[in-house]
Amino acid sequence: LGRRGAARSMREMLMDLRPWTLGLCLFAALTAGCVSSEIPREVATVFAETTDVVVPGDDLDLVGTLHMPNYDEDQLVPAVVLVHGSGPQGRDETLAGQLNMSFPEPISLFVELAEQLQSDGLGVLRYDKRTCGPFNGLCDNDYPFPPDEVGVDHFVADAVNAARWLAEQDGVDPARVLVVGHSQGGGMVPRMLTQAPELAAGISLAGNWRPIDVLLQYQLDFTVELLESLGYSTQQIEAVVGDLRAMVEELAALRDGTFAGATIGGASVEFWQGWMDLDDARPDEVAALDRPILALNGGMDWNVPEDPELSGWAAALDANAVAGNDAVGLPCLTHAFNCVQGETIG
């Protein structure tokens, strides 16, 4: 053969050999592996860190603390935002007790949760609620005095904004960001998931299922029964529950459309109406969700009783039937998620 013929034949021979060569390489990869010229890259570890942060907002920049766990630089970790209960709560959410029960020492629920979740490999963001600041001496930040119209819609928007900020942080998996709400924050979880379809799931800790006005009626009845069992007189009982009774009666009038005042319990009518509207919408919002909720309630919770709050969550989550939905009772836990066993308050 001439040179051209030889060249063509060699190409043809190589083309004929390529499938066999590929097959041998695949076989080797399944056994001893094919030789690669690529040098494995060393993966650096980012070590656990807790830092003060600022979460930019439309009308208020939230200040908080970000907990990040140990993680490899090519790894993304799940992360949660901790959302407060009612009242002017700071990022620690420190609770001295619950309804009709004081604790031996205050419990900083969000600090304990954040530190444990961080050690378990999750990122955690906790922040000062917009109603906690220098104006009431409860938080060390530069928040301005909140306007009268501040209500649950602002708290929901702050939590959603915080979750979206968290999803953008280095090391955080944006597909695995959750909201974890406690008490009032737990009741807001369905609204947060509704407003932020990118959130993966939500967890309600001691969240109420029934509307707040119904829950306050329970708290009134429970307190009266407890004081009666302890031998308090009618006059003594009214001295303890008088303000709560007035709130319950005024909220009943507000629901009936007959309340003529401007405030209830020191908060505006608009605040209470917004909270009741959010609670009233909860069943429909849960029914429409396509992401799971975990509801946890404690058997020793005297603020938001496991019975019947948890059964309300359970029925709605069962009917929704999204994979991962669950409602779990934790028998010894109080509203602060500490354990009471007999006379011992843990």
pLDDT in tens, 76-113: 999 999 999 999 999 999 999 999 999 999 999 999 99
**H-only helix segments in 50-100:** none
Give the residue-averaged pLDDT of 205-226.
Answer: 98
pLDDT score recorded for residue 346: 87
Report the predicted TM-score, pTM, of the whole model to 2 decimal places.
0.87
Average pLDDT, the chain: 90
Q: Classify residue 245 by burial, with Cβ atoms within 10 Å: 0-12, 13-18, 19+.
A: middle
Does 227 score more than 70 pLDDT? yes
Per-residue confidence band for 35, with pLDDT thresholds at 50, 70 and 90: very low
Alpha helices in 230-268 (DSSP H): 234-256
Residue 29 has a pLDDT of 32
Say how many residues make up the chain: 346
Mean pLDDT of 156-174: 98
- Confidence (pLDDT) at 141: 97
- Tell me what pLDDT residue 42 has: 74
Residue 38 reports pLDDT greater than 80: no
262-to-80, 225, 253 alpha-carbon distances in Å: 37, 31, 12
- Taking each helix axis from N to C terminus, what angle separates 306-320 and 269-288, rounded to the nearest 10 degrees? 40
Average the pLDDT over 240-249 and give the result. 97
pLDDT digits (tens, 9 = 90+) for 247-287: 999 999 999 999 999 999 999 999 999 999 999 999 999 99
pLDDT for position 40: 63
State percent of the chain over pLDDT 90: 85
- pLDDT at residue 326 tops 70: yes
Question: What's the confidence (pLDDT) of residue 11?
Answer: 39
Which tokens belong to 273? 């109406």
**Residues 125, 163: Cα–Cα separation, whole Å:** 8
Question: Closest by alpha carbon to 123, among 200, 196, 38, 8?
Answer: 200
Predicted local distance difference test score (pLDDT) of residue 18: 40
